[in-house]
Amino acid sequence: MRTEEFDYQLPEKLIAQRPLAQRDSSRLLVLHRETGQIEHRQFRDLADYLHRGDILVANNSRVYPARLYGRKPTGGRVELLLLERLDEKRWKAMAGGRNIIAGTEIKLERADGSLSHHIAKVVTVLDGSLREIEFDNWTDESLDMLGHTPLPPYIHEALEDAERYQTIYARPTGSAAAPTAGLHFTGDLLFDLRSKGVIFEMCTLHVGLDTFKPVVVEEIHQHTIHKEWAQLVPEVAKRINEAKLAGGKLFAVGTTAVRTLETGALRSAGILGSLQTISVRDAAGETSNICPWKPVSAFEEATDLLIVPGYKYRAVDAILTNFHLPKSSLIMLVAAFADRKQILEAYEMAIQNDYRFYSFGDAMLIL
């Protein structure tokens, strides 16, 4: 399939610039795959679609303050977005600015714009704007002191409370962007779901480079996804499998939870090596997007699973997600679960009904 087949036109006014005052007051578009029926609900109505014994799995990764600002010796301003920690002092980062070549030393700014004593040196120039950066005298406290919340480039307003770009259940720090489908949950909503008998479990996937990398190739199967560290611990995998065997449905909160759960299912099937290759192989075969259910295996590894139309889902029964950018790998993932035409029609209906899009926007439940 061609990347341009996943394009749509979004009025700029519908790009949410700030979170709502109450997390679960966002809207919820519900798409029923079998019938194509669409419902317009509120996120706090989510419990109406889950039943006792169903399993809701969310990504508990916490965002670190990954955006840094600094100046070169010439005075030129530089922006760094830390993507992957290589060791205690070295990171892979996206660099914004002019002539950021190997050997460039960047003096980092404090929150008030004054220069600190910390230096970031460009060690290696990688693809495009990617650089390998080495810091001097660097600690986790340095990042907390100098770093800024890494809001996506389409958000132009400052965030008053950095915790609004974190889920309420965020625990291990490691993401360069929030798993935004989980931003809608409140403690009260999770309590209501538990009271109803819904099983709430957590996995971890540290969101990295591909959140910021557009699909630029003409054919979607030519797109290369970078590996992101993920974990599904044994006791969670066991409870998911037991609940599924008892008749429960598996709801994934966000595309990162989808990729983690499907990676676990592929591992339980004994599939090793590049999972992106498996996805492409699936897509080249039968048109059905659902395989017989596979249990999920516990794992802790970097996953490169790219889910595009034709991929055969092995674990997930329903997806809770936000509205994604045109021609992104994320809209391709949900189009693989439903149908490209269904998804684009649902997006068009959302636009016509003034839904809010992207990270701080409204949500979509695909059943």
Pick the CATH number of 67-146 from 1.10.3720.10, 3.40.50.300, 3.30.300.30, 2.40.10.240: 2.40.10.240
Res 232: pLDDT: 98
Task: Kindly tell me the sign of the dihedral angle through the C-alpha atoms of 257, 83, 233, 309.
Answer: positive
**pLDDT tens for each residue of 224-255:** 888 899 999 999 999 999 999 999 999 999 99
Helix H or strand E encompassing 337: helix 329-337
- Helix ranges (H only) for the chain are 140-146, 187-195, 234-245, 255-268, 275-283, 329-337, 340-352
Task: Confirm if 198 and 58 have CB atoms less than 8 A apart.
Answer: no
> How far is it, in rounded angstroms, from Cα 348 to Cα 240?
34
Strand partners, 58: 202, 253
Cβ neighbours around 49 below 10 Å, total: 18
Per-residue pLDDT tens digits for 69-114: 999 999 999 999 999 889 999 999 999 999 999 999 999 999 888 9
Tell me the torsion sign for CA atoms 146, 168, 326, 219: positive
Read out DSSP for 122-146? EEEE-STTEEEEEESS--HHHHHHH
What pLDDT was estimated at residue 287?
Answer: 47
CA distance from start to end of the chain = 24
Q: Residue 366 and residue 109: Cα distance in Å, rounded?
A: 44
Contact call for residues 80 and 67 (beta carbons, < 8 A)? yes
Neighbouring CB atoms inside 10 A of 159's CB total 16
* Position 314, amino acid: R
C-alpha 348/C-alpha 296 separation (Å) is 34
Among residues of the chain, what percentage have pLDDT more than 70? 94
Residues of the chain with CATH 2.40.10.240: 67-146
Q: Which two tokens stand for residue 18?
A: 């700030």
- pTM (2 d.p.): 0.93
Q: Domain 3-63+163-366 belongs to what topology?
A: QueA-like (3.40.1780)
> CATH 3.40.1780.10 residue ranges in the chain?
3-63+163-366
CA–CA–CA angle 345, 259, 215 (5° rounding):
60
Please give, one letter per residue, the 3-state secondary structure of 54-94: CEEEEECCEECCCEEEEECCCCCEEEEEEEEECCCCEEEEE
Choice between 164 and 284, residue whose per-residue pLDDT is larger: 164
How many CB atoms neighbour CB 341 within 10 A?
A: 11
